[in-house]
A and B are shown apart, each in its own frame.
Chain A
Amino acid sequence: MARRPIELVLESTLREVDPRQAFMTELAQRSLQLQRYNWRDELKSQSLRLATDAVTSVYGLSPDKGVTFFFRWFVSLAASGFVGVVSVAEALLGNLVQRVITLWNNFLFGLGYEWRYKPSSDIEAQLIRKRVTFPSALITELEMEERSMNSGQGFRVRHASALMREGI
């Protein structure tokens, strides 16, 4: 484990002031590191031993083959488990997640849209505020008009007049 610069300063000074205490501190630090590593190694070896015993007793395999078999089995189980968990979560929470995404979308982009887009008329402003969904036939008509006129302002005027004609 790399030491921080401050630790190096303190350790070297402590070695000069009291070599015995410096040695004891170093020992305590090493022992702490060893304890941490031992704990992890112990957990790993114990779990591996238990799993190997289980596989060898159930399938009657030799320990070497048992370990290999265990790992294959474990990897496939983990993979299928992950897929299963994701599928169940998707089935249970899919709707919820979709709602959250929609809310987030409305919050972020809905707000931004109103802030960014300056409506050219009162009708347009009202429509944006009420979030009116346009009928597809009307949209097609508007698109055709826009293409023929090729002018933003004209589009807006016709847009408003077309909407009024439709009674929206």
Chain B
Amino acid sequence: MPLNITLINERVDRALSDNRRAEYIVIIMSVCIFGLGVFALLFSYRLKNPYIAGGSTVFQGLLYWPIREVLKLRRDNVLLQAFPALVSSLPAAALANEIRKMLEYLRR
């Protein structure tokens, strides 16, 4: 059965827009974490309280997860953008192999 390239392109576009939405949400979340952390640090500076300063430093450590998620989403986007070219240039058997490898790589 020949592949419907238009349908694949539509799916890729939908996935890219979903990723963009997720990226916005994650970035807003991380900006909030950063803002709250900076606010807590300034507040602790004003109160001269090292405990609040230490707490805010730990709080800033939570940025690890949003940053990791953004990196993952960007990696996904690169793969998605290259995917239509892959579909149109490879024969069916090689394409199936390539997709299987990509899925394994993503789920590792």
Residues of B within 8 A of A8 (CB): 11, 15
User: B80 touches which one: A6, A17, A112 (CB < 8 A)?
Assistant: A6
CB distance from A162 to the nearest CB of B (A): 25
10 pairs of A and B residues whose beta carbons are closest in the complex:
A5-B15, A18-B96, A5-B18, A6-B76, A14-B99, A17-B96, A105-B50, A9-B15, A9-B11, A21-B96
Asked whether B76 lies within 8 Å of A17 as measured between CB atoms, the reply is no
Binding site for B on A (CB under 8 A): 4-14, 16-18, 21, 25, 29, 32, 101, 104-105, 108-109, 112
Q: Is B70 an interface residue (CB 8 A)?
A: no
CB distance from A5 to the nearest CB of B (A): 4
- What is the bound-complex CA distance between A83 and B28, given in angstroms? 39
Asked whether B106 lies within 8 Å of A4 as measured between CB atoms, the reply is yes
CB distance from B79 to the nearest CB of A (A): 6
Contact with A along B58-83 (1 / 0, CB 8 A): 00000000000000000010011001
User: B106 touches which one: A7, A13, A32, A108 (CB < 8 A)?
Assistant: A7
21 A-B residue pairs with Cβ-Cβ distance under 8 Å, sorted by A, are A4-B76, A5-B76, A6-B15, A6-B106, A9-B15, A10-B83, A10-B102, A10-B106, A13-B83, A14-B99, A16-B3, A17-B95, A18-B93, A21-B97, A21-B100, A101-B50, A104-B50, A104-B54, A105-B50, A109-B45, A109-B48
**Assuming A5-B19, A6-B106, A25-B100, is B95 touching A108 (CB within 8 A)?**
no
Q: Is B85 an interface residue (CB 8 A)?
A: no
Binding site for A on B (CB under 8 A): 1, 3-4, 8, 11-12, 14-16, 18-19, 45, 48, 50-51, 53-54, 76, 79-80, 83, 87, 92-93, 95-97, 99-100, 102-103, 106-107
- What is the bound-complex CA distance between A4 and B96, given in angstroms? 19
Residues of B within 8 A of A13 (CB): 3, 8, 11, 83, 87, 99
Question: B57 — nearest CB in chain A belongs to which residue?
Answer: A104
Asked whether A108 lies within 8 Å of B15 as measured between CB atoms, the reply is no
**Assuming A4-B76, A5-B14, A101-B50, is B96 touching A14 (CB within 8 A)?**
yes
Residues of A within 8 A of B3 (CB): 13, 16-17
Question: B12 — nearest CB in chain A belongs to which residue?
Answer: A9
Residues of B within 8 A of A112 (CB): 45
Question: A106 — nearest CB in chain B belongs to which residue?
Answer: B50
Residues of A within 8 A of B48 (CB): 105, 109
Asked whether A9 lies within 8 Å of B80 as measured between CB atoms, the reply is yes
